[in-house]
Structure formats: C-alpha cells, structure tokens
Amino acid sequence: MIEYHSIAELVKLAEEKKCRISDVVLEDQAAAMEKTAEELSAMMKINLDVMKNAAEKGKEEGIRSRSGLSGGDGFRMASRAEGESLSGPFCAKALARAISIAEFNAAMGKIVAAPTAGSCGILPAAILTMMEEKNSGEEDALMALFTAGAMGMVIANEASLAGAEGGCMAECGSAAAIAAAALTEMSGGSPSMAAEAFAMALKNQLGLVCDPVAGLVEVPCIKRNAGGIMCALGAAEMALAGIKSVIPADEVILAMKEIGDSLSQALRETAQGGLAVTPTGLALKQKIFG
C-alpha cells in the first residue's frame, strides 16, 4: 500500500509499472477501500460533475455573495474569453472558470474543496478547460483527478493544506501544484514531468500569505484562484518542454512547511495583517460587520 508521503515514490512506482501516476493510485485506492476501479471512477465522476456545475453557475451574471464583496467577475471574464483576449482562448477560459467557481463558493454554492474551499477554482479550471479546449476525454479527466488527489495527500501528510497553518501557499499554492501535475498528465507528459510541473508551480507560490479581508474567503482569495491557474499552466508548459525544477518536489513541500511555520499569526487566516488591514480592507470590514 502507498503511504502518500513522497511524490518521488509515486513517480518511481509509475515508472516501474510503465503507467501513469493515476493508474498506480487507482489500483492502490481500490485495494485500500475494497472497491473496484469502476466504482471509484464513478465516485470521482460525482466530483467532476459538481465542478462542471459550479463553473457554469458561477459565471452567471447575477451571482453575488451575501457580503457583497464578490460576484460578477466570472461573468465578465467568461464574456471576454469568448472574444479576443491577450492570453488566447485556453488561458482566458481557464481564468473564467477559476474565478467563477471561487465566486460560486463565496455565494454559498456547492463546490469541490480541491484541496480546500478557498482554492476550489484552480484544479477544476485546469481539468475542465483541457476537456473543452484540448478535447480530453472524461476518462482522462477522472484519472488526472486521482493524480491530483494523491499529490494533495502528500502535501497534507508532509506539510499542510490549511491557510490557518501555512498561509495561502498551503491552499492556492497546493492547488496550483496539483493542477499543474494534472495538466501535464492530461497532455501526455510522463510521471516525472508531472512531478516537475508540481514542483515548479508550488515553488512559485512559496511565501503566499493568507490575509482575507473581513475574514471572508473572497478578497483576495478569488483573484488568487485566477493567479493559481495561470501558475499551474506555466509550470505544466515548462515541464512538457523538458524543463526541470532544480529543487525536487518533495523538498519544495518541506520548504513550504518551514516557511508556513515561520509565518506570523497575522498572516495565517486571522485577518490581522496584509491586505486585511489596509485602509480599504478595514473599511470593508466595518461596512460588512459594523
């Protein structure tokens, strides 16, 4: 059985079996949960369907959070993605999905914590945009989710996925890393390439603090989902080009933990530092809560 404490272990097992990381994970999880691969895929499809619904509902023009801090940006970005954008249709549509899903979460919609609610838009944006723009099939999408899930488990075991523990790099940083691995696998990249993409995405998010305005998962969280998907895309592109991370994935995870442990409490989801205590941030908190 896999203990999910090492990205290198996942890569090694996949390379030994000459298969994808997701194939190794699906086989392992089926044995551990005493279910068939088909049953687990059916369970994962429920998650994929929730992701699809959140992406569609979140881009509706009338979406708004109860606080009034967010809503409507998914619609704006989706509209731009249908026209001419600086980054092209793939990036623009991925951005639209990341923002839409994060806004849907803020509006109390049903999402998949991937790996957390605050970072819920990044992985789905990667998977769903690959399905639409690159004609990736549902089976590939489901398998990529198994790869992303396994890598997320390694982060959870070796560091943290919680902003309250490790800052936003533990949430949006982790989401960008697993999304980069998923994008790489769906693009036909090798297990080692997926690990390189993971490492490059995560290390580019190191030091990202958690400073939610008014303590709500809206500002700057939603825009950080947008930044996270772009980071994931860049990392996947580099890995698929054969570029490697000088620092291995497992060492990047340990570095993230060390940095997270050293962050002050003011920058760990307490809304006592960073953007939360800017004049505008404090004014918005006063307006919402009095």
| Within-domain flag for 250 | yes
Residue with tokens 């590939």: 140
Residue 273: which H helix or E strand, with range?
Answer: none
267 DSSP 8-state letter: G
| Within-domain flag for 2 | no
C-beta separation of 156 from 7 below 8 A: no
For 271, phi then psi, to 5°, come to: 60, 30
Q: Is the pLDDT of residue 140 over 90?
A: yes
pLDDT tens per residue across span 223-278: 999 999 999 999 999 999 999 999 999 999 999 999 999 999 999 999 999 999 99
| Within-domain flag for 189 | yes
Mean pLDDT of the chain: 98
Which residues 6+ apart lie within 8 Å of 23 measured at CB?
A: 14, 17, 143
Q: Is the pLDDT of residue 86 over 90?
A: yes
| Within-domain flag for 1 | no
Torsion of CA 5, 151, 113, 53, to 10 degrees: -160
Cα angle, residue 164 at apex, residues 104 and 50 outer, rounded to 5°: 25
| Within-domain flag for 281 | yes
Which residues 6+ apart lie within 8 Å of 275 measured at CB?
A: 211, 213, 219, 220, 281
| Within-domain flag for 199 | yes
Q: Is the pLDDT of residue 155 over 90?
A: yes
Q: Calculate mean pLDDT across residues 10-30.
A: 98
Confidence of residue 116 (pLDDT cuts 50, 70, 90): very high
- pLDDT at residue 233 in the model: 98
Q: Calculate mean pLDDT across residues 195-200.
A: 99
C-beta separation of 116 from 167 below 8 A: no
Please state the domain count of the chain.
Answer: 1
H runs (alpha helix) in 88-137: 88-106, 122-133
| Within-domain flag for 228 | yes
Q: Is the pLDDT of residue 84 over 90?
A: no
| Within-domain flag for 181 | yes
Residue 73: name the closest of 112, 116, 102, 114 by CA: 102
Of the CA atoms within 13 Å of residue 56, those in its CB half-sphere come to 6
C-beta separation of 268 from 165 below 8 A: yes
Confidence of residue 209 (pLDDT cuts 50, 70, 90): very high
Which domain does 221 fall in, by range? 7-289
Q: Calculate mean pLDDT across residues 191-196.
A: 99
